[in-house]
Every structure is written in structure tokens, then in C-alpha cells.
């Protein structure tokens, strides 16, 4: 059995959920996969950095952070100047990168991934930025170092999409995809169908903890655009930047628009589409009225789904029901296990 040393960059709700999941699955991971782990480093943006080569009690760290305290009491090593110094000095085998998303250039998460791979770590991430801005570079760097760069949790919160194509569908060629990939807008549209105004639906999503205080990334279509760009880049082998996605959000929709569609036997969804046009892939995100019989139209609340058209399969639909931090954490855990077991 091998004990793997883990380091986290970012330790918010998803990081805490992963810490709990690792503890809950510890016996199973040891018994079934001969994998043990200890967290040797935590780096956060607002609560400091901690490194302990002997292992950090992560459940105690979660409780400490939830109480509004810093990580200072868990740090036993030399002072650390910044996150790059943290990567250099933590001594981890696997970096779990879950810092904030910057759709414009993927930074600083992109450079964190580069630094970790160069230092001989596997990298697993829930951050879409490095994928859409440097997927091929990071894959090549990982291969050169004999490591893995995995990112299952970047799209649909850990529902297995990338690993399905990587492991179960060799040689498949995707001609097109269409999906509902942003759970927040799907919840907002569902609420609007039931009588809420746009503003009321946004407030409801914020009160549930689904939407951010500033919901622009969701309602203006940026989150969906980055996810669609990631699918095109990885699964269709056609690099697409978020800025190249034809994008329209749901901000200008009224409750009357949504309910009128419902009365016609349609449901408006923020639809993500990618399709091959010659040697290029065109990607769009826009509100679209779908017939109620369409499987994508039947998605309720925060659920999401994507359908792929391929050369050898008539169609494949993958659905994720009511995701949350625990599901995203499972995507990271599955990547972690697959990374350390990869041949």
C-alpha cells in the first residue's frame, strides 16, 4: 500500500467536502485500492497557508476555518512566501487545485498547475480555466513528467464525462454536442416558469446558496460558455476559447417569456451547442425554446445534461441530478484515484 501526500490550493465548500469524503472513504480506499493519503498542505486566499509533512488533521482544519480562524496553528514548516512557494515546499504527490475561475486567461490557476506538474505532482482540478486555456500544453507537460492532469469536476460537477471518453470510448469522434450545463440558470428558469420574476428567481437561487452574490457569470452565460469551450477543446480536440463562444445569457428574459413558451408546449433552457463545421468547431450558448419532449427540456432545478453525436454511436446522453459540493468533491476523488493508479 502506498501513502500519497496531498496538497490543496483552495479550501472552500468543495475542498471541505473532499476532505470529509477522503476520511469517509479511507477504509474503502485502503482495502479496495491499496491507497492511503495524508494532507500535507492547505493554501487559501483569505485564511492563510499551512504545511505539515506529518499530515494535517483536515477535519479539525475544516472546523477551525468554519469558525473564522486562519490556518496558522496547523503550519509546522518554514514560513511560506506565496502560493508558488507553497507548491515548491509542500512535498506533495498530488495537487488538488480548486482556486477561483478566471475565464479570461485561466490565471493564476494555470500557473499553479504548471508549477505542480514541473515539480513532479499529479494535478486534479475543478477549475475550468487551465483546461480551456492550456489543455494541450498541460497534457504534454504531464506526459513528459510521467504524471496525470485530470479535471472531471470542471463540467457538470463531477458527473463522468471526460473519463467516459478517455476510458470507455476509444477512437470515438464527436460530431456535435448540445446540453444544459449551468445549473444556476436552469434553476432560475424553473422558478420563472412557476411564477417568479427574473429578479425574484435570482434572489431565491442566492438564498439557496446556488447563485453568487454577483450572478453575472451564470446569468450572462459565461460559466456555460467556459464549460462548452472545455467540451470542444478536450472531447472534440478543437481548442475553443470562451471569448470565441457565441454567447447570450438569460438576463433579458422575463417571466412572461418563459411562461408563454411553457403554454406553447416548450421550455426555455440556456442551451450549449458545439458542432463541427469543416475543420473547425462552432460553439454557442443561448436561451432556446425546446419542445417538452426533448430530454434536455425535462431537466428541473439544478440538474444538467449533455448529449453527444458520434461517428459510431447514434447518441449518448449523460445527466447529472441536483449537483452540489459533495458531487464535485467526488469528481476530484475519482480523478485522484485514477491518477495515482494510472499506468
pLDDT exceeds 70 at position 23: yes
pLDDT exceeds 60 at position 187: yes
CA distance 116 to 121: 5
CA distance 164 to 169: 7
Residue-level pLDDT at 323 = 78
CA distance 229 to 208: 28
What average pLDDT is seen over the chain? 95
Residue-level pLDDT at 1 = 83
* Percent with pLDDT over 70 in the chain: 100
pLDDT exceeds 80 at position 132: yes
20, 61, 125, 238, 337 from 25: Cα distances, Å: 9, 18, 19, 37, 12
CA distance 169 to 74: 44
Q: Give residue 111's pLDDT band: very low, low, confident or very high (50, 70, 90).
A: very high
pLDDT tens digits, one per residue of 68-106: 999 999 999 999 999 999 999 999 999 999 999 999 999
Q: Which helix (H) or strand (E) holds 2?
A: strand 2-9
Sheet hosting strand 174-180, strand order edge to edge: 246-247, 280-291, 266-277, 174-180, 304-310, 316-320
Per DSSP, what are the bridge partners of residue 327? Answer: none
pLDDT tens digits, one per residue of 294-338: 999 999 989 999 999 999 888 899 999 887 888 999 999 999 999
Residue-level pLDDT at 343 = 53
The pTM of this model reads: 0.94
CA distance 221 to 82: 33
The domains spanning 2-159+325-341 and 174-320 adopt the same CATH topology? no
As a CATH number, domain 2-159+325-341 is 3.40.50.720
pLDDT exceeds 90 at position 232: yes
Q: Give residue 200's pLDDT band: very low, low, confident or very high (50, 70, 90).
A: very high
**Residue extents of the structural domains in the chain:** 2-159+325-341, 174-320
Catalytic residue among 73, 227, 269, 275: 227
Question: What's the CATH fold of domain 174-320?
Answer: Dihydrodipicolinate Reductase; domain 2 (3.30.360)
CA distance 50 to 90: 9
Has 5 been annotated as catalytic?
A: no
Burial of 219 (0-12, 13-18, 19+ CB in 10 A): buried
* Of 339, 332, 334, 269, residue with least CA distance to 96: 332
pLDDT tens digits, one per residue of 43-73: 999 999 999 999 999 999 999 999 999 999 9
CA distance 175 to 314: 11
Show Cβ contacts of residue 70 under 8 Å, excluding neighbours closer than 6 positions: 47, 48
Amino acid at each position: 500500500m502506498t501513502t500519497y501526500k496531498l496538497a490543496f490550493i483552495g479550501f472552500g465548500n468543495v475542498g471541505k467536502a473532499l476532505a470529509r469524503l477522503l476520511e469517509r472513504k479511507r477504509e474503502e480506499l485502503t482495502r479496495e485500492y491499496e491507497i492511503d493519503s495524508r494532507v500535507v498542505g492547505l493554501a487559501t486566499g483569505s485564511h492563510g497557508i499551512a504545511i505539515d509533512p506529518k499530515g494535517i488533521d483536515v477535519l479539525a482544519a475544516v472546523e477551525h476555518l468554519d469558525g473564522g480562524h486562519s490556518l496558522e496553528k496547523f503550519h509546522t514548516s518554514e514560513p511560506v512566501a506565496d502560493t508558488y512557494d507553497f507548491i515548491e515546499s509542500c512535498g506533495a504527490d498530488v495537487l488538488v487545485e480548486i482556486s477561483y475561475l478566471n475565464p479570461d486567461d485561466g490565471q493564476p490557476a494555470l500557473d499553479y498547475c504548471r508549477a505542480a506538474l514541473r515539480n513532479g505532482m499529479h494535478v486534479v482540478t475543478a477549475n475550468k480555466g487551465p483546461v480551456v486555456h492550456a489543455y494541450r500544453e498541460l497534457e504534454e507537460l504531464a506526459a513528459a513528467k510521467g504524471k496525470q492532469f485530470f479535471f472531471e469536476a470542471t463540467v457538470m460537477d463531477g458527473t463522468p464525462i471526460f473519463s467516459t471518453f478517455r476510458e470507455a470510448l476509444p477512437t470515438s469522434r464527436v460530431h456535435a454536442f448540445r446540453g444544459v450545463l449551468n445549473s444556476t440558470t436552469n434553476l432560475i428558469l424553473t422558478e420563472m416558469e412557476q411564477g417568479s420574476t427574473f429578479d425574484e428567481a435570482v434572489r431565491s437561487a442566492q438564498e439557496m446558496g446556488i447563485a453568487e452574490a454577483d450572478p453575472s457569470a451564470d446569468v450572462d452565460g459565461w460559466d456555460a460558455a467556459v464549460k462548452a469551450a472545455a467540451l470542444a477543446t478536450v472531447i472534440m480536440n478543437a481548442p475553443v476559447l470562451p471569448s470565441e463562444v457565441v454567447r447570450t445569457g438569460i438576463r433579458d428574459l422575463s417571466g412572461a417569456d418563459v411562461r408563454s413558451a411553457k403554454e406553447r408546449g416548450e421550455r426555455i433552457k440556456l442551451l450549449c451547442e458545439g458542432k463541427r463545421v469543416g475543420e473547425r468547431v462552432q460553439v454557442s450558448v443561448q436561451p432556446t425554446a425546446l419542445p417538452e419532449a426533448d430530454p434536455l427540456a425535462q431537466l428541473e432545478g439544478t440538474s444538467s445534461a449533455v448529449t453527444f453525436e458520434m461517428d459510431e454511436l447514434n447518441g449518448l446522453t449523460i445527466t447529472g441530478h441536483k449537483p452540489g459540493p459533495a458531487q464535485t468533491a467526488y469528481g476530484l476523488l475519482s480523478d485522484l484515484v485514477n491518477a495515482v493508479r494510472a499506468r
